[in-house]
Amino acid sequence: MKLTGSLNTNTHEFLECNFHPALRKTNHKQMKLKYILFTIALIITTFNLQAQKSDSDLKNWPKGSSPAEVGKRIVVKFLNTPHSRYGNTHPEVKPTQITYPDVCAWLGGLWFSQITNDKPLFNQLESRFAPLFDSEKNLLPKPNHVDNNVFGALPLELYLQTKQPKYLEMGLAYADAQWALPENPKPEEKVWSEQGYSWQTRIWIDDMFMITAVQSQAFRATNDEKYIDRAAKEMVLYIKTIQLENGLFYHSPEAHYSWARGNGWMAVGMAEILRNLPKDNPDKEQIMAGYKKMMAALLKYQEADGMWKQIIDDPEAWKETSGTAMFTYAMVTGVKNGWLDKETYGAAARKGWLALLTYINQDDELTEVCEGTNIKNDRNHYLQRKRIVGDLHGQAPLIWCATALLR
């Protein structure tokens, strides 16, 4: 073959590689090496993708850590424990009423029994409630405080699962009382009521479960949107008042610390109201924005092992379990409902769940639970709180997590 005319360098090199035997052999080796390297890269990429998927997997769990197994143990533990006094389950502590930590654990147990279709477990939970109509009627909380009225969420859940009118009547009494101004109200209670808010409003972050839980349950039980509408209006008020630019919340306008469980009440409260809020509700967009802003902040402050700290953004604070359980619940709920990115938040939620399990002792009690905490604008007030074992403030959200993971 005769070549005429001038050849540029690239053309000359091309011809040499394709027509010169020695270079053609070298080119074949290079192509083979490139193929091997490409295959290795493909295998690594596939492995990484599979690992990423495994990291965010909310269905498959290591032996002994499945939500169904753990949740059942914690619910049974609740059933075998006497009524507490604000979460304290010590046998010598005698309760004078059913307090909100019991309500939260009980409600979680009912949710769990339904999602697992465990009728015997439900029957035990319902039987525990029966004496409150007669022999333990004195333990019914008076509907005169935000922490008391949340009790109504419990009979409303029993109504939803049994359709027995007695449960509906009892539950609605607590839901309605939260907005019915009492006789001789305090001036601030009257002001809140006149603005369309609950007279029990106090802008403590805890309220955003205590108010929204019973009102959301009342909506679920009746389909009357007044309940969910007023809960949403209340939620927006709290978001506007105490959510920080970084997405976290103060305990109250007077307590400038992002206490973990306080933020947990808000995280769960937003998740629950969003689960139930009709699409056309005018407050839904603002609540969703507040929720996503908070979840992004929590992602930033999650520890490497999956835990969150007693003061979320304080590097010297201790790792606390009840807040961690609540944040995990809120993230699982967001992933399951498509509000949050599955890979990112699913991985955070999985880490949170697996981390929590390392804090359960041999008696199925969650350790490192912060004791009940009032507001105080003092860092040490939060850092030096007692760390309780088996307190229902921690047992309850652990049951919620198991339920959410099974939904």
Tens of pLDDT, residues 118-161? 999 999 999 999 999 999 999 999 999 999 999 999 999 999 99
- pLDDT above 50: residue 51: no
Please report which confidence band the pLDDT of residue 33 belongs to, taking 50, 70 and 90 as the band edges: confident
Beta bridge partners of 309: 319
- Count Cβ neighbours within 10 Å for each residue of 297-326 and write b for 16 or more, e otherwise: bbbebbeeebbbbbbbebeebbbbbbbbbb
The span from the CA of 385 to the CA of 306, in Å, is: 21
Summarize the confidence of residues 111-121 as an average pLDDT. Answer: 98
Write the pLDDT tens digit of every residue in 362-406.
999 999 999 999 999 999 999 999 999 999 999 999 999 999 999
- pLDDT above 80: residue 201: yes
**pLDDT attached to residue 254:** 97
User: Which three-class secondary structure state does DSSP give residue 146?
Assistant: helix
Beta bridge partners of 387: 370
Beta bridge partners of 255: 252
**pLDDT attached to residue 21:** 56
Give the DSSP letter of residue 133.
G
Please report which confidence band the pLDDT of residue 2 belongs to, taking 50, 70 and 90 as the band edges: very low
More reliable by pLDDT, 2 or 258 = 258
Write the pLDDT tens digit of every residue in 307-316.
999 999 999 9
**pLDDT attached to residue 91:** 79
Summarize the confidence of residues 172-180 as an average pLDDT. Answer: 98
**pLDDT attached to residue 92:** 81
**pTM above 0.85?**
yes
Give the DSSP letter of residue 319.
E
Give the DSSP letter of residue 180.
S
Strand pairing of 319-320 and 387-388? unpaired
The span from the CA of 259 to the CA of 286, in Å, is: 23
More reliable by pLDDT, 222 or 94 = 222
**pLDDT attached to residue 5:** 42
- The residue written with tokens 């201790």 in the block is 318
Question: Number of H helices and number of E strands within the chain?
Answer: 17, 4
- pLDDT above 90: residue 290: yes
Q: How many CB atoms lie within 10 A of CB 19?
A: 10
- pLDDT above 80: residue 216: yes
**pLDDT attached to residue 15:** 39
**pLDDT attached to residue 89:** 80
Q: 74 to each of 67, 81, 121, how far by Cα in Å?
A: 10, 11, 12
Summarize the confidence of residues 255-278 as an average pLDDT. Answer: 98
**pLDDT attached to residue 197:** 98
**pLDDT attached to residue 27:** 66
Report which secondary-structure segment, H or E, holds 309.
Answer: strand 308-309
Q: What angle do CA 395, 312, 331 make, to 5 degrees?
A: 60
Average the pLDDT over each of 44-58, 71-85, 168-182, 185-199 and give the range with the smallest value: 44-58
- pLDDT above 80: residue 338: yes
The span from the CA of 122 to the CA of 227, in Å, is: 26
Q: What angle do CA 49, 52, 56 make, to 5 degrees?
A: 140
- The residue written with tokens 């075998």 in the block is 80
The span from the CA of 94 to the CA of 85, in Å, is: 7
**pLDDT attached to residue 49:** 43
Considering the chain, what is the average pLDDT of its residues? 91
User: Which three-class secondary structure state does DSSP give residue 335?
Assistant: helix
User: Tell me, which fold does domain 61-406 have in CATH?
Assistant: Glycosyltransferase (1.50.10)
- The residue written with tokens 């540029």 in the block is 8
**pLDDT attached to residue 1:** 41
> Judging by beta carbons within 10 Å of its beta carbon (0-12, 13-18, 19+), is residue 39 exposed, middle or buried?
exposed
- pLDDT above 90: residue 3: no
Summarize the confidence of residues 232-261 as an average pLDDT. Answer: 98
- pLDDT above 90: residue 53: no
- The residue written with tokens 């409630």 in the block is 129
Computed from CA positions of residues 117, 118, 122, 123, in that sequence, does the dihedral angle turn out positive or negative? positive
User: What token pair was written down for 269?
Assistant: 């409260």
Summarize the confidence of residues 244-265 as an average pLDDT. Answer: 98
Q: Where are the domains of the chain?
A: 61-406
**pLDDT attached to residue 165:** 98
- pLDDT above 70: residue 35: no
Q: What angle do CA 252, 256, 259 make, to 5 degrees?
A: 75
**pLDDT attached to residue 8:** 46
User: What token pair was written down for 222?
Assistant: 């009746």
More reliable by pLDDT, 65 or 88 = 65
**pLDDT attached to residue 41:** 61
**pLDDT attached to residue 93:** 81
Please report which confidence band the pLDDT of residue 28 belongs to, taking 50, 70 and 90 as the band edges: low
Give the DSSP letter of residue 13.
H
More reliable by pLDDT, 16 or 392 = 392
